[in-house]
A and B are shown apart, each in its own frame.
Chain A
Amino acid sequence: MIGFNLSKRFIRVWQRNFRVYRKTWKISFMPPLLEPLFYLAAFGVGLGGLVGALSYGGKTTGYTEYIAPALIAINIMQSSFFENTFGSFVRMYYQKTFDAMLATPLTIEEIITGEILWGATKSVIGTALMMIIISCFGLLHFPHALLLLPVAFLGGCAFACVGMVCTSLVPTIETLNLPIFLFITPMFLFSGTFFPLNNLPSWAQHFAQALPLTHLVELCRAFALGRLDVSNVVSIAYLVIWCLIFFPFAITGMRRRLVR
């Protein structure tokens, strides 16, 4: 049973989650529709009045225009990370959904792959919904902005994988607050989300460059504002490598946890 046993049957796990999601889509649709409105009102209109405009990529950019893509990036991170931590933990630990699946021809690899791709799918759905709202304010530059959807999938996979690794390690559901305090919240604030990184001391800038959200924010901003440059390739490569590292950890971690 050791070895890597992955067939396209992982889609069955994805379908199971999608089926549950469809039952509650009215509630699930709310946060990505309402959150950007709250943030744009508070930060864009309220704080933006104080900040005015800032220089991004050598061009003057309004503060609201600057933070709108970051809101999308944050949502991508949170959607998949929460889905594959709290969501997957509940399915694994409380509902024993994975145990039931393991009595069928599904393998651990397929279950975890299905879960991770579902987390990434939630990032994509959230991104699509936010794009509708944000483009109502004229803050997205089409057609470039459509590339936010594949970016959402890539970023979603990155945070889904690391979320799954956390799920494979934590003893209790409360322990999941630890990676949120130590990993998600600092990134939320210090990844070039609400202010440019060059406002930070240089050591902090270097540190921020090592964080996945920094790269995701960069990509979202580039595609949303239609200002692509070479560094975007680096960011894409960073996120791909991140996935390639954490996906095998997620599988082995969950195998250690579930197979007993």
Chain B
Amino acid sequence: MPAIIEVENLRKSYGSAVAVDGISFTVRAGECFGLLGPNGAGKTTTIRMIYGFTPRESGRLRLFGIDCDGAWRSLKAKIGVCQQEDNLDPDLTVRQNLETFAAYFDVPSNLVNERVKSLLQFTALEGREHANVMDLSGGLKRRLVLARALLNEPQLLILDEPTSGLDPQSRHQLWSRLDDLKKRGLTTLLTTHYMDEAQRLCDRLIIMDQGKILVEGAPLDLIQKHVGKSVIEVIAPCTDLRQVLKEKGVIYEDVGQRLIIYSNDGENLYRDLLSEHCREGCMLRPATLEDVFLRLTGRELRE
């Protein structure tokens, strides 16, 4: 089976600003692949190039084993896209949004009704089909955007920050829908700012910064490789603690009022610290993708 997305040396700049700086990666069939990175890392530009919205400056792009140049119309017919900004059609109802979009894809009219019905059911929007899009909550809108992206029965689903701004209920609802789609074997490419989302959904991911790929791998492998098993956070550390850690040869990060200690032997170290150095404000927790992300991209604000 050919790879669904093959990106080689993809590059895009706007004026003198380089948005995507020669990245390469491959997404396999049935995989959920994540693009992570701080604001301005080039995630959205990358996926826009992949669904043919933004022209590439240089580099090779193959989708479904086909070279993209000159084949966009047939390729776009196989891709479903949830763009970042809300661009549902506010002049139309929920059902009309879906019907109109199906027409853009030239879905045969005898199939439209059936597909719209099953997608309304899939996204739990039945009963709202005649609602005005303007009256929908953020969560409902996102579900409608997902339903819209599935109308053409895509072989590749592209999601640009699918759950930004949603409440926890809506996020979990959307995640379980994405799980369902994954079980059906749908290949998904997504960008997100939420590390828990990436960790839960992605088989593999890349972390980007300033247009370049920093790391690529499965979430758990990346955590193991770049952070270790566990993390100890010490709030308001006593002055000699830094010295103790240095003597022990433990890797830590100093964030002013807090120390973040990375360790594969977290439990023993934690017990040590607790009994000898700091009785309070010391916390042991499993390492997460967020630790990887912050270690690699730094903690300073981006915008």
Question: Residues of A contacting B88 with CB < 8 Å?
Answer: 100
What size tier do the contact residues of chain A reach? 20 to 34
Given A1-B55, A99-B83, A103-B83: A20 in contact with B105 (beta carbons within 8 A): no
Smallest Cβ-Cβ distance to B12: which chain A residue: A260
Q: A259-B54, A259-B55 are in contact. Are A104 and B89 (CB under 8 A)?
A: no
B72 adjacent to A1 (CB under 8 Å): yes
Question: By CB atoms of chain B within 10 A, which of A1, A23, A97 has the most?
Answer: A1
Question: Within the complex, what minimum Cβ distance (angstroms) separates B14 from chain A?
Answer: 8
Query: Could you say which of A19, A99, A103 contacts B96, with CB atoms under 8 Å apart?
Result: A19
Whether B101 is near chain A, meaning CB under 8 Å from some CB there, is: yes
For the complex, is B124 an interface residue (Cβ under 8 Å from A)?
A: no
Question: Contacts of B100 on A, CB cut-off 8 Å?
Answer: 15-16, 19
Task: Given the known inter-chain contacts A1-B55, A102-B53, please indicate yes or no for A16 contacting B81, CB distance below 8 A.
Answer: no
B66 interface residue, CB < 8 Å from A? no
Tell me whether A95 and B105 are in contact (CB under 8 A): no
Cross-chain contact A105 with B83 (CB below 8 angstroms): no
Q: Is the C-beta of A107 less than 8 angstroms from some C-beta in chain B? A: yes
Chain B interface bracket (under 10, 10 to 19, 20 to 34, 35 or more): 20 to 34
* With contact pairs A9-B106, A19-B100, A20-B92 given, residues A105 and B76 touching in the complex (Cβ less than 8 Å): yes
Chain A residues lying within 8 Å of B54, measured Cβ to Cβ, are 259-260
Binary contact track A88-127/B, C-beta < 8 Å → 1, others 0: 0000000111011111111100000000000000000000
CB neighbours of A23 from chain B (8 A): 91-92
B104 near A104 with CB under 8 A, answer yes
State the CA gap A99–B52 with chains docked (Å): 12
Provide the residues of chain A in CB contact with B92, threshold 8 Å.
19-20, 23
Measured between beta carbons, the chain A residues less than 8 angstroms from B87 are 95-97, 99-100
Residues on A with C-beta less than 8 A from B86 are 96
Cα distance A25–B43 in the bound complex, in angstroms: 43
Q: Is A141 an interface residue (CB 8 A)?
A: no
Q: Please classify the interface of chain B as helix (H, G, I), strand (E, B), loop, or mixed, using the class held by over half of its residues.
A: loop
- Say if the beta carbon of A257 comes within 8 Å of chain B: no
Please tell me if A144 contacts chain B, counting CB pairs below 8 Å. no
**B53 lies within 8 A of A103 (CB):** yes
A145 to chain B minimum Cβ distance, whole angstroms, is 34
What separation, in Å, do the CA atoms of A102 and B76 have in the docked complex? 9
The answer to whether the Cβ of B184 comes within 8 Å of any Cβ in the partner chain is no
Contacts of A15 in B (CB 8 A): 100, 103
A206 adjacent to chain B (CB < 8 Å): no
CA distance A105 to B101 in the complex (A): 11
Judging by beta carbons under 8 Å apart, are B105 and A103 in contact? Answer: no
Tell me the complex Cα distance, A109–B14, Å: 23
- Chain B's nearest CB lies how many Å from the CB of A43? 35
Q: With A and B bound together, what is the CA distance between A177 and B91 in angstroms?
A: 24
A171 to chain B, nearest CB (A): 18
Q: Which residues of A contact B83 (CB under 8 A)?
A: 96, 99-100, 103
Complex CA–CA separation, A53 to B180 (angstroms): 77
A7-25, CB under 8 A of B: which get 1 and which 0? 1010010011001100100
Instruction: Report whether A12 and B85 are in contact in the complex, using a CB–CB cutoff of 8 Å.
Output: no
Q: How far is the CA of A1 from the CA of B57 in the complex (A)?
A: 12
Query: What is the chain A residue whose CB lies nearest that of B81?
Result: A103
Residues of B within 8 A of A12 (CB): 103-104, 106
Q: Which residues of A does B touch, CB under 8 Å? A: 1-2, 5, 7, 9, 12, 15-16, 19-20, 23, 95-97, 99-107, 259-260
Which of B's residues lie within 8 Å of A, judged by CB?
A: 14, 51-55, 72-74, 76-77, 79, 81, 83, 85-92, 96, 100-101, 103-106, 152
Q: With A95-B90, A103-B81, A104-B105 given, name 12 new contacts (CB 8 A).
A: A1-B55, A15-B100, A15-B103, A20-B91, A96-B86, A97-B89, A99-B85, A100-B87, A101-B104, A103-B79, A105-B73, A105-B106
Closest 4 CB pairs of A and B: A96-B87, A103-B81, A104-B104, A100-B87
